[in-house]
Chains A and B, each alone.
Chain A
Amino acid sequence: MDDSLSRSASITQPAPWQRYAGVATPLLLLLLVTFYLQWAGSAYIQRVWIILGLDIILVTSLNLFNGFTGVFSLGHVGFMAIGAYVSAILTLPLEKKATNLPDLPAWLAHTQLGFLPAILIGGLAATLVALVIGRPVLRLSGHYVAVATLAFLVIVRVILINATPYTRGSRTFSGTPAYTTVWWVYAWAVVTVYVAWRVLRSPYGRAMLAQREDRAAARSIGVRVLRSRMWAFGISAFLTGVAGALWGHYILSFSPNAFYFAETFSIITMLVVGGMGSISGSVIGTILVVLLSEVLRNLEGGFSLGVVQIPSLYGMSQILMAILFIIILIFRREGLMGGHEIDLTRLYVPDFWQSLFRRKEV
């Protein structure tokens, strides 16, 4: 097990300036790249960049729960749906509410909130639901809990389809104001990564890791498994709900089908590729999968390989991603990062770069 929490003095500790510089560097890089893309990038690449940011939030918050508790939640996209719908209903302009959601109860029909309050409320709604269903469901283990969370995903969808006065049922929910910008997305992405990092290092974080490895042992030293799982679930649900709200205000038109199996599988692929339990893994895994899918999708329209003309094969990119997924599960189940972290605070310590090339852990 990766013991990066209890690193002894056998490796060089970074000096304070190195610590700050180490964390600040990627942030600065992020800022620069985003600025550049906004200024010089095509509409297409800007869109990919935003989707990348949204997926980073989704995968990292899922990892916060899955990776650290070892419990597999297949229903997380349900929280995304809750965040998207709740925030969209709140921000929908009043005139649109009258035409699109004529049956809203009076107090909602006259409410219109700004972006940030709506996002927060969306996230909180997701957390509330998480705490309610977490109590019974998180006691289960292994595939039982995976199955129960899957059932949760289906139930959320059914409720959305039936709550027609609020959600228009399966019909298109449109008219959402276009509030999401690349800055909002990446601000929240940084927040999410930071929160995940802090949670890992908190007492609850250690408790989570402990019970992932051996529940009985954790129990014996007083770790309250259900409580730690609930914390992770709640925080993770909040961030996922926020991601949903951001996504809803980006795509502008959606229906319950957008929050179902296709999205679930997409996020899980990124999680598995990067490696559960590793935050840097989620980020790297997400970047890899998103970019690879885009490359493959662009090729779907047909291309030429020297003299050979490959015809258009729509749907091939999904097949290839699924095959990649299976290959990772067979050959490198712990994901690319293997559950290890890239410790940013050591970015400026020479040891760090040397160890990357060695098989040793950092």
Chain B
Amino acid sequence: MSFFEYGTQQLINALSIGSLYALMAIGLAMVFSILRLINFAHGDLMMVASYTALFLLIGGSPFLGAAIAAVVIAAIAGLAMERVAYRPIRGAPDVAMLLTSFAVTIILENAAVLTVGARSRAFPAPPFLSTVFTLGNLTVSSVNVVAIITTAILLVLLTLFVRRTDTGISMRAAAEDLVAAQLMGININRVIAYAFAIGSGLAGVAGLLCAAKVGKVDPFMGFSPVLKAFIAAVIGGFGTIPGAVVGGYVLGFLEIFLQATLPGQSSAYRDAFVFGILILVLLIRPNGILGVQEREEI
């Protein structure tokens, strides 16, 4: 395999992982931009979607139906989360909201353990997600292609939504200045609900793709993706959707690059690098690559 082919192979890997991170990061960014809440329970939405799809698939449902149901259930779960756990503490200091999201994560994960059991379960991905395309020496597994294409389509749709529709514009207004938006008569509760629903739905899609890639699901599967998504969002520009997307792909590329170049023995230092970069970003340019200036300093 020539270097070109190797490079292309890794490029596709990076784009694929980047797409997953981007999908997750958008959800986090949307919620943060309006509420200033870092929702760590976002990862559990992936898990909810994956398990929903799992049970439907085992029950014999066709994949498309199961996927749509899974995404819808994830969106509903996100709305429920907002209504029950986050609305009562709106206006609280940021840290209180962050801590609440930890508590929500614990509740969801343990509830999953109680209901479906803690052990991993195989995820029966449909054939179109498990085939392999070969071009010369390049092999691309279809799930990667699907991930890249799906993310691209969803991004286009999202951009249209945010720019053209009333609700989308209201969301941007609320993100810019929540109080002013309220004064302008925008129904904040509705806007926030949309943000949660859309963000959670995207997490659901990411969850399905992840389950297909890995081949199994377990109650804690959302934990490290949400950390990664979070880094992606911060690096790219926390609180902005384009930032989240950029951050997702940057992180994907960074990870693949580090994994490919670090000697085999120290491959796990990759994570230390990534988090180290997070701290650097927070120090030097806390609003990320695309971020808007708003840091408070002593």
Q: Direct A–B touching in the complex (beta carbon < 8 Å)?
A: yes
In-complex Cβ contact of A147 among B38, B88, B223, B295 (8 A): B38
Cβ of B67 to closest chain A Cβ, rounded Å: 28
Flag if B113 contacts A162 (CB, 8 Å).
no
Q: Does B89 contact A (CB under 8 A)?
A: yes
Counting CB contacts under 8 A, is A314 at the interface?
yes
**Would B271 and A142 count as touching, CB distance under 8 A?**
no
Known: A272-B99, A326-B104, A333-B92. A147 touches B282 (CB 8 A): yes
Tell me how far the C-beta of A167 lies from the nearest C-beta in chain B, rounded to whole angstroms: 12
Residue A35 CB within 8 A of the other chain: no
Q: Does B110 contact A (CB under 8 A)?
A: yes
Check A315 against B94 for contact (C-beta < 8 Å).
no
Q: In the complex, which residues of chain A have a beta carbon less than 8 angstroms from the beta carbon of B293?
A: none
Residues on B with C-beta less than 8 A from A268 are 99, 102
Q: Which of A142, A151, A215 has the most chain B CB within a 10 Å cutoff?
A: A151
| B interface secondary structure, majority | helix
A228 to B94, CA, bound (A): 23
Given contacts A141-B296, A314-B114, contact A323 B107 (CB under 8 A): yes
Say whether A146 contacts B268, CB under 8 Å. Answer: no
Of all chain B residues, the one with the shortest Cβ separation from A211 is: B298
Whether A161 lies near B95 (C-beta < 8 A) is: no
Is B103 in contact with A143, judged by CB distance below 8 angstroms?
Answer: no
- Which parts of A146-177 form the interface with B (CB within 8 Å)? 146-148, 151-152, 154-155, 158-159, 161-162
Q: Within 8 Å CB of A159, what residues of B? A: 272
B268 touches A319 (CB 8 A): no
CB-based contact B85/A326 at 8 Å: yes
Whether A144 is near chain B, meaning CB under 8 Å from some CB there, is yes
**Chain B residues closer than 8 Å to A137, beta-carbon distance:** 279, 283
Report chain A residues within 8 Å CB of B88: 330
Q: Would you call B269 and A152 a contact (CB within 8 A)?
A: no
- The minimal Cβ–Cβ distance linking B80 to chain A, given in whole angstroms, is 14
B145 at interface by CB-CB < 8 Å: no
Whether the pair B103, A326 counts as a contact (CB closer than 8 A) is yes
| Whole-angstrom distance between the Cβ of B177 and the nearest chain A Cβ | 18
Q: Say yes or no: is B297 at the interface (Cβ < 8 Å to chain A).
A: yes
Q: Give Cα distance in the complex from A83 to B272, angstroms.
A: 20
Give the Cβ gap from A100 to chain B, nearest Cβ, in Å.
19
Q: Known: A148-B279, A151-B279, A154-B275. Contact between A226 and B298, CB under 8 A?
A: yes
Select from chain A the residue with minimum beta-carbon distance to B227: A154
**Set A146, A215, A219, A314: member contacting B98, Cβ < 8 A:** A146
**A179-222 interface code vs B (CB 8 A; 1 in, 0 out):** 00000000000000000000000000000000100010001000
Indicate whether A139 reaches chain B with its CB closer than 8 angstroms. Answer: yes
Task: Evaluate contact between B297 and A141: CB separation under 8 angstroms.
Answer: yes
Q: Is the CB of B100 within 8 A of A319?
A: no
Chain A positions within 8 Å of B237 at CB level:
none
Residues facing B in A30-76 (CB within 8 A) are 72
**Which positions 219-268 of chain A face chain B at CB distance < 8 Å?**
219, 225-226, 261, 265, 268
Q: Apart from A147-B234, A154-B275, list 11 A-B contacts with CB within 8 A.
A: A141-B298, A143-B38, A146-B94, A146-B98, A154-B271, A158-B269, A159-B272, A215-B298, A313-B114, A319-B114, A329-B100
Q: B-contacting residues of A (Cβ < 8 Å)?
A: 72, 136-137, 139-144, 146-148, 151-152, 154-155, 158-159, 161-162, 211, 215, 219, 225-226, 261, 265, 268, 272, 313-316, 318-319, 321-323, 325-326, 329-330, 333
B contact set with A: CB distance below 8 Å? 36, 38, 85, 88-89, 92-96, 98-100, 102-104, 106-107, 110-111, 113-114, 223, 227, 230, 234, 266, 268-269, 271-272, 275-276, 278-279, 282-283, 286, 295-298
Q: Which 10 A-B pairs have the closest CB atoms?
A: A143-B94, A158-B272, A315-B110, A322-B103, A322-B106, A72-B95, A330-B88, A325-B103, A151-B275, A158-B271
A-B contact list, 25 entries, CB within 8 Å: A137-B279, A137-B283, A139-B283, A139-B298, A140-B297, A141-B298, A142-B95, A143-B95, A144-B295, A146-B94, A147-B278, A151-B276, A152-B279, A158-B271, A159-B272, A161-B268, A162-B269, A162-B272, A261-B223, A315-B110, A316-B110, A318-B110, A319-B110, A321-B106, A325-B100
